Structure 1
Amino acid sequence: MPSDPPLLTLPPLDGPPPPGSRVVRTDDGVDLHVEFDGPTGGGGAGGDTAAPLTVVFCHGFTARLAEWELQRIAVRDRARLVFWDQRGHGRSAATPLPDATIDRTGRDLAQVLDAVVPSGPVVLAGHSMGGMSIMALARRRPELFGPRVVGAFLLATSAGGLVETGILGRAVTVVRWLRLLPVYLWGLQLIAPLLERFRRRGSVFGRWFTRRLLFGTRADADPTSVRLVQNLLEETPFPVTAAFYATFLDHEEHSSLPVLGRIPVTVVAATHDRLTPVAHGRRLAAEIGPGAELVVVEGAGHSVNLTRNDVVDRALLELLDRVEAGLRRAG
């Protein structure tokens, strides 16, 4: 039986950004919101790199950096912490539709690193789409992994094949065979602003949908956590959701996993995750190789970092132990 998650209040999006936060402008002109915490804290203006280790947190699809609040508390005494909102999410600016892709978020992550962590060892932590962004970075910038990126924490994520089975998988296969996928995606993006206009946030149906897709067993899904995750996900407008949807149909990053095999990695997978099933986590760890440790959380769903934060926090702290031990040996 899991322990009750701690009561958590997410910082609101309205109002001014937190003190010490900064903006990183990408090469295509999108402003990304970045926040800092940890022993050398603020670090906003120039990216303070005095801490011996920096952990950069990448949030999941339709969430924002606040989803890492419990992990922020758990590890803030161990390293300098960097959190960023992916394009179109949270306080970051909207993205042009053609650039709402995992490949682009991997490029964004590289530019965040270049701007605010220009030197020193880095551990990357990614949940769901955030983990996919890390894999895209490994494909695009393999030279970073080993010399600069010295560890990775992959939480409830996948290297590809998310839409291959079940009713949705069969439907997508038929749509592809009929060469109608571009029309389907265009229609989805066309109707998204209309759906947003008439959207009802906080509805009972929204809670049921959140409970069904983001949580595991009955013990995993207390009403407070379900409502919190519902509120978090419903902050993201439908046009952003529709823009990124296509990238998950084509997401394929298995070729990047040998790059991650150069460094210590922890993969956390949840047995009742309906979005990135546990089999995907097992395959990730197997393909990364001996440097990967797999943590399987029984009964948990996709929001495992909020509902089983004790397990997730411990796994992240143990990864930092492994990374620091390796740095001592190398130094």
Structure 2
Amino acid sequence: MNLRTLTPAGRRRIALERGVLHSQNREPGLRDVDKQGTVNSEGIRVYYYRSGPVDATTTVVFVHGFTLAAESYYLQVKHLRQHHPEVACLLLDLRGHGQTGAVAAPKCTIDGLAHDVRETIAQQAPEGRLILVGHSLGGLAVLAALRQMLVEDPACHARVAGVTLVSTSIESLSAQGIPQILASPLADRVMEAVEASPDDARQVREAAAKFLAPTLATAVFKRSTDYELVEFHAAMIHETPLTSFVGFFDDLQEHGELDAVPALQGIPGFIITGEKDEVTPLSQAERLWEVWPEAWFQIAAGAGHMLILEAPDIVNQAISRLLEN
């Protein structure tokens, strides 16, 4: 890992060198997607990407984590293209992230993210089997979506043939993990900047780059990781709107999804966590396994929170097993 990426100057340099994400012509990042556009979810234009045959009977839906974007799953999409070309991939940039962009802070809720997932499925994968993959905040969004489906759209719930939850909590994290990071004195500086100068976007972005991004970056990678991937991660954090940091703060502290347990019953899946994950504690993966015994439970030795980039093989193989089930 090159430590220049963990400094404020390094973050700004990465942003200048790389420009925006979603270039469609390089790796790291999604390449050669077959379709992309927007889906209307509660008046928010949610950006999506679709790859794979239009007549696919199975669609893998990828839901990314906090301060990330759909492109964070590019290694999983690459794996499916190579080993399961008959399967479609559907990815979305959750509200407040990626090309979907900023939304008002009060709309930055996990229930809102679940609505984004459901609307994207309804419009872009209305038929066939579904495999849902969620990482971190995206895992909470998947759980919330399943809970909502079970009550509001049981036909869609019945289509879910497998779920993979990576670095995901099911109970309120309160003072643990990401909420602890966002409640740190460094994060307080960013919140103060937002409140003091709400119209000065440049100043607030500088505050985020200076205080939040390095803190988040040092928390997620624990294995030795290619410099290029750390840069890629840095660029996604840098692009996350400040309203997303502020808006998701309360929900990330208080939101739990134990009410989703009935919606998990009977669905095969994987619970995957990093041995050294400081963002989502190992105890949360164990709690999730306790209430979802149908799932396989795997621990990635020596890995941290960013498993989809840090230890992609374990995630890729989990998805493959569900597809072959």
TM-score by length of 2: 0.78
Q: Which of 201, 204, 226 is equivalent to 2:230?
A: 226
Asked if 1 retains the 8 angstrom alpha-carbon contact of 2:66 and 2:136, the reply is yes
Q: Which of 137, 147, 169 is equivalent to 2:158?
A: 147
Hey, what's the Cα distance between the residues in 2 that align with 1:54 and 1:255? Answer: 25
Deviates more, 1:14-23 or 1:86-95: 14-23
Asked if 2 retains the 8 angstrom alpha-carbon contact of 1:158 and 1:284, the reply is yes
Asked if 2 retains the 8 angstrom alpha-carbon contact of 1:193 and 1:239, the reply is no
Hey, what's the Cα distance between the residues in 1 that align with 2:210 and 2:106? Answer: 33
Matches for 1:29-48 after TM superposition, within 5 Å: 29-38=43-52, 40=53, 48=54
Letter in 2 for 1:212: T
Q: What is the deviation of 1:202? A: 11
Asked if 2 retains the 8 angstrom alpha-carbon contact of 1:189 and 1:243, the reply is no
C-alpha distance after superposition, 1:189-214 (max 9, x if no partner): 53584785234499797775344211
Q: Which of 296, 300, 306 is equivalent to 1:297?
A: 300
Change (3 A) 1:60 1:255: same
Partner residue in 2 for 1:52 = 57
Q: What is the deviation of 1:260? A: 0.9
Q: Structure 1 residue 163 and structure 2 residue 174: aligned?
A: yes
Asked if 2 retains the 8 angstrom alpha-carbon contact of 1:271 and 1:277, the reply is no
Asked if 2 retains the 8 angstrom alpha-carbon contact of 1:100 and 1:244, the reply is yes
SS at match of 2:158: coil
Q: What is the deviation of 1:310? A: 1.6
SS at match of 2:277: coil
Hey, what's the Cα distance between the residues in 1 that align with 2:197 and 2:159? Answer: 40
Partner residue in 1 for 2:268 = 264
Matches for 1:237-276 after TM superposition, within 5 Å: 237-276=241-280
Q: What is the deviation of 1:319? A: 2.1
Hey, what's the Cα distance between the residues in 1 that align with 2:90 and 2:248? Answer: 24
In terms of fraction of residues, the more helix-rich structure is: 2
Q: What is the deviation of 1:258? A: 2.7
Asked if 2 retains the 8 angstrom alpha-carbon contact of 1:123 and 1:152, the reply is yes
Q: What is the deviation of 1:148? A: 1.1
Change (3 A) 1:258 1:189: farther
Partner residue in 2 for 1:107 = 115
Hey, what's the Cα distance between the residues in 2 that align with 1:187 and 1:283? Answer: 35
Asked if 1 retains the 8 angstrom alpha-carbon contact of 2:58 and 2:131, the reply is yes
Letter in 2 for 1:94: A
Hey, what's the Cα distance between the residues in 2 that align with 1:121 and 1:319? Answer: 11
Hey, what's the Cα distance between the residues in 1 that align with 2:282 and 2:200? Answer: 32
Letter in 1 for 2:35: G
Matches for 1:43-192 after TM superposition, within 5 Å: 48=54, 50-76=55-81, 77-142=85-150, 143-144=154-155, 147-164=158-175, 190-191=195-196
Q: Tell me which of the two structures has the higher relative contact order, counting C-alpha pairs closer than 8 angstroms and 6 or more residues apart.
A: 2
TM-score by length of 1: 0.77
Q: Structure 1 residue 281 and structure 2 residue 285: aligned?
A: yes
Q: What is the deviation of 1:20? A: 2.1
Q: What is the deviation of 1:253? A: 0.5
Partner residue in 1 for 2:220 = 214
What's the RMSD between the two structures over aligned residues? Answer: 3.3
Change (3 A) 1:192 1:277: farther
* Aligned residue-pair number: 289
Letter in 1 for 2:244: V
Q: What is the deviation of 1:264? A: 0.7
- Structure 1 gap segments, 5+ residues each: 1-8, 41-47, 173-183, 323-331
Hey, what's the Cα distance between the residues in 2 that align with 1:185 and 1:201? Answer: 6
Hey, what's the Cα distance between the residues in 2 that align with 1:284 and 1:138? Answer: 15
Change (3 A) 1:206 1:25: closer
Asked if 1 retains the 8 angstrom alpha-carbon contact of 2:208 and 2:242, the reply is no
- Structure 2 gap segments, 5+ residues each: 1-17, 26-31, 184-188
SS at match of 2:106: helix
C-alpha distance after superposition, 1:84-113 (max 9, x if no partner): 110121111432322210011111211111
Hey, what's the Cα distance between the residues in 2 that align with 1:201 and 1:144? Answer: 46
C-alpha distance after superposition, 1:192-251 (max 9, x if no partner): 8478523449979777534421112xx434444323211221111222211111111111
Partner residue in 2 for 1:12 = 21
Hey, what's the Cα distance between the residues in 1 that align with 2:161 and 2:265? Answer: 11
Change (3 A) 1:146 1:110: closer
Asked if 2 retains the 8 angstrom alpha-carbon contact of 1:272 and 1:301, the reply is yes
